[in-house]
């Protein structure tokens, strides 16, 4: 559990802290109004299995340490959005979908190719704005319940 938590929560937290001076500078120097990924953003790669409301695919695999770590990452994303709102830094948790990767196929054949997920993520990132900060969205830009 600690190893997974260190990777999925502590790692993103430390990385955002290290890059925070650059994010603040980018936001301050930007001519873009409001929040956007074009200005300054922290996008934490979460997973819908971290949703407490959904409990996605519980019957296929419990993966409790992973679920707990992604739930904690979602809380980190929400906290970052509140702490960094004054700086104009967009913060979201993003579920890339169930993707055909070595990890993604462990619970059965994943429905999304990496290309489909990436195309959706890039499209979603281009549309995120101030109203999305502090939310949990999927690769299609749809809200995921906490």
> Using one digit for the tens of pLDDT, what is the confidence trace for 63-97?
899 999 999 999 999 999 999 999 999 999 999 99
Strand order in the sheet with 90-95: 41-45, 90-95, 136-138
Domains of the chain: 1-138 (3.40.50.720)
Does pTM top 0.85 for this prediction? yes
**Would you give the DSSP letter of residue 140?**
T
Residues making up the chain, counted from first to last: 146
Strand ranges (E), 40-122: 41-45, 90-95
What pLDDT, in 10s, does the model give residues 16-28?
999 999 999 999 9
């Amino acid at each position: 559990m600690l190893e997974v938590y260190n990777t999925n929560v502590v790692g993103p937290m430390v990385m955002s802290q290290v890059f925070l001076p650059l994010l603040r500078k980018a936001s301050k120097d930007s001519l873009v109004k409001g929040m956007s990924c074009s200005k300054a953003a922290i996008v934490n790669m979460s997973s819908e299995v971290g949703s407490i409301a959904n409990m996605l695919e519980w019957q296929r695999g419990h993966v409790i340490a992973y679920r707990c770590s992604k739930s904690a990452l979602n809380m980190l994303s929400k906290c970052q959005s509140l702490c960094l709102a004054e700086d104009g830094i967009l913060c979201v948790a993003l579920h890339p979908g169930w993707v055909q990767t070595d990890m993604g196929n462990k619970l059965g054949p994943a429905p999304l190719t990496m290309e489909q997920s990436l195309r959706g993520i890039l499209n979603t990132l281009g549309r995120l704005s101030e109203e999305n900060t502090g939310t949990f969205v999927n690769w299609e830009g749809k809200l995921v319940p906490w």
